Every structure is written in C-alpha cells, then in structure tokens.
Amino acid sequence: MVSKDQAVTLTLMEVARAHGKLYCYPSQTWILHLVKRHWDQSFCRRTLNRVLRRLEDRGVIVRVRRLRRGVCGRLVRASTLYKFTSETFKALKSLVKTLTRFRSVFHVTKEAHNKLPLSKVSHYASPKCGNPVENSAFR
C-alpha cells in the first residue's frame, strides 16, 4: 500500500508521462478520480491540498497557479501547473527500490517452478484437489 503522498506524486507523474512532458495541469477533481481509480484511495479535496502542500514543501513538485481572463475581463483561476523537480525522481527511485524488494519477497524463482514435477503441478491445479495444505505434493 502506498501513502497518499506517493499516490498523488505517481498519479501526477503518470499524467505528465502520458503527454510526454515534465509538467502537467490536471484539475483537482481529475487527480482525485485518478488516485481513486488506480490506487484505490479516496480522500477529500482538502486532504489533496494538504498532500500537495507537503509535496511542495519537500521540493518534490512546484505549483504554479495560473490565471486567465474571464468573460467580463476579470482574472479567473485556471488549473494549477505542476512541475517536477529532481527530488521527484529521487523519491521515485527509492519507491521503485522498495516495491522491488517487496515483490522479491513474494516472487517465486523459475528454478522453483522447474523443480516441481509436472504431475504434482497438474494435481494441484485440478479442481478436485481440495485444500492445498492437505495435498501430498506440499508436505
């Protein structure tokens, strides 16, 4: 499970990567939607702003608030531009290391697959086998 900070950072990086840029400017609603869809984490807009402020304070992202002219000529807020710094890539590198270590704990090597006789593998895979602990192949 990744933290909220990591989920938001990776979501922003994926949006930027999809467009081939080192920056992106999704709306907060879209960020929340993507975090929910890809990381199965839901939180409110206020929490998202806290996370973004923490990321900005740590130097992972730089937020540039953008303005545009409205219909009456007044300035209206547009979506925020999120730029990535070198800290972002350092954090991403450490996250990849952590996930790789985590994956290697549960990873079964090819040698282990090759050492198990095929007859026992097919016996285990059959729907009639019952509890895998009770099978003689795993004693």
End-to-end distance of the chain based on CA atoms, in angstroms? 32
Min mean pLDDT across 3-7, 98-102, 123-127 is at 123-127
CA separation, residue 7 to residues 33, 61, 109, 131 (Å): 12, 14, 29, 37
Q: What is the distance between the alpha carbons of residues 87 and 89, in angstroms, rounded to a whole number?
A: 5
- Residue tagged 């009639």 (tokens): 128
pLDDT at residue 114, as a whole number: 52
Tokens encoding 55: 């990321």
Q: Residue 84: which H helix or E strand, with range?
A: strand 81-84
Q: Is pLDDT at 25 greater than 90 in this prediction?
A: yes
Q: How confident is the model at residue 93 (pLDDT cuts 50, 70, 90)?
A: confident
Identity of the amino acid at 4: K
pLDDT digits (tens, 9 = 90+) for 56-66: 999 999 999 99
Q: What is the distance between the alpha carbons of residues 11 and 24, in angstroms, rounded to a whole number?
A: 10
**Exposure string for 36-59, b = 16+ CB within 10 A, e = fewer:** eeebebeeeeeebeebbeebeeee
More confident residue, 107 or 74: 74
Q: Is pLDDT at 95 greater than 60 in this prediction?
A: yes
pLDDT at residue 109, as a whole number: 54
All domains of the chain in start order, with CATH: 4-107 (1.10.10.10), 109-139 (no CATH)
What pTM was computed for the model?
0.65
Strand (E) positions, the chain? 23-24, 61-64, 67-69, 75-77, 81-84
Instruction: Over range 79-85, report the average pLDDT.
Output: 93
More confident residue, 93 or 60: 60
Q: What is the distance between the alpha carbons of residues 31 and 22, in angstroms, rounded to a whole number?
A: 16
